[in-house]
Amino acid sequence: MTPEVEPTTEHHQNTNPVYMFCAERLRRFHDIFANDLHIRMPSTARTRLMYKRILFPDCETMEQMDEVLHRGDTLDAGSGTTINNPYSLYNHLRESGKMVGVDLRNAEVKGGPDGFTINDSIKARLINAFSDMHSLLRFQSAKRGKSDSNEAVKADLKSMPFEDSSFSQILSVYCYPYWIDDEIDREIIFSELDRVLEPKGQMRFCSDRHRLGRTLLDSGHIRKSIRDRYKVDTYDPRGYGGLADSMGNKTLVLTKNN
């Protein structure tokens, strides 16, 4: 039997010991909150700035992030209530490429109630929407504006209503793989994401692992797909904002081969 070759991973680490200490404590705190206390999966509403800090550690500026997003259409897997936050990445007007937010809890009918419970709205939406209040107050935040081309789709990530190779970027902030408990579901979702991602496209996930600690590479099927078809980069959070927004968790960037 030939030994299995691990996917080649490039780690972009922050080796500052104080930083590493804080990141580990934050991550542990987040896991206790999400796991040990049996908190039900929240539906948050992070801002564009937060998505930048959490998912684009390889981009120095917002403009660089926009350049990546302008390459084509973007799928936000498990978008939560971000579709209702005027300051979200979803609602940021862009020159090209649409943004598609997929969530189990999105409303089925366009223009109707959003499908999220009041609990989701109050607990998560407000806190996150205004977390970069200081930049809003100084008029430095992205302008509110809903692009007509964006789409909020109610669907299960296990079977998505999109053609093969529909997206150039796939983003997931604290949905995949963090909140997907079942290992088979994680495998099915990975093959769906792989199917709808175009060649040379990227997947960006934070956290890079499930809340019980298992990474995507722990599953044989996913590891094989990644090894065969993807370049793997993992990034430590950068700067204080990145550390706070990602709760110390790493970001995984998978870049698909031709």
Query: How are strands ordered across the β-sheet holding 74-77?
Result: 9-12, 230-235, 251-256, 197-206, 167-173, 74-77, 99-103, 151-154
Verify binding: residue 242, ligand SAM, rule CB under 6 A. Answer: no
- CB atoms < 10 A from the CB of 224, how many? 13
Binders of ligand SAM in range 113-132 (CB under 6 A)? none
Q: Which stretch binds ligand SAM (CB under 6 A): 55-63, 161-169, 172-180, 222-230?
A: 172-180
Q: Which is nearer to ligand SAM, 102 or 196 (CB)?
A: 102
Between strands 197-206 and 9-12, the pairing is unpaired
String marking each residue 54-83 x if it binds ligand SAM according to CB under 6 A = ------------------------xxx-x-
Q: Which amino acid is at 257?
A: N
Q: How far apart are CA 63 and CA 107, in angstroms?
A: 32
Q: Which is nearer to ligand SAM, 20 or 26 (CB)?
A: 26
Q: Which is nearer to ligand SAM, 185 or 198 (CB)?
A: 185
Q: Which residue's CB atom is positioned nearest to ligand SAM?
A: 80
Q: Which stretch binds ligand SAM (CB under 6 A): 5-13, 103-111, 220-228, 241-249?
A: 103-111
Q: What is the CA radius of gyration of the chain?
A: 18
Q: Which amino acid is at 40?
A: R
Binder to ligand SAM among 30, 31, 43, 169 (CB under 6 A)? 43
Verify binding: residue 46, ligand SAM, rule CB under 6 A. Answer: yes
Structure tokens at 119: 């609990």
CA nearest to 103, candidates 24, 194, 174, 34 = 174
Task: Kindly list the residues in this chain that would bind ligand SAM in the complex (CB under 6 A).
Answer: 41-46, 78-80, 82, 102-105, 156-158, 173-175, 179
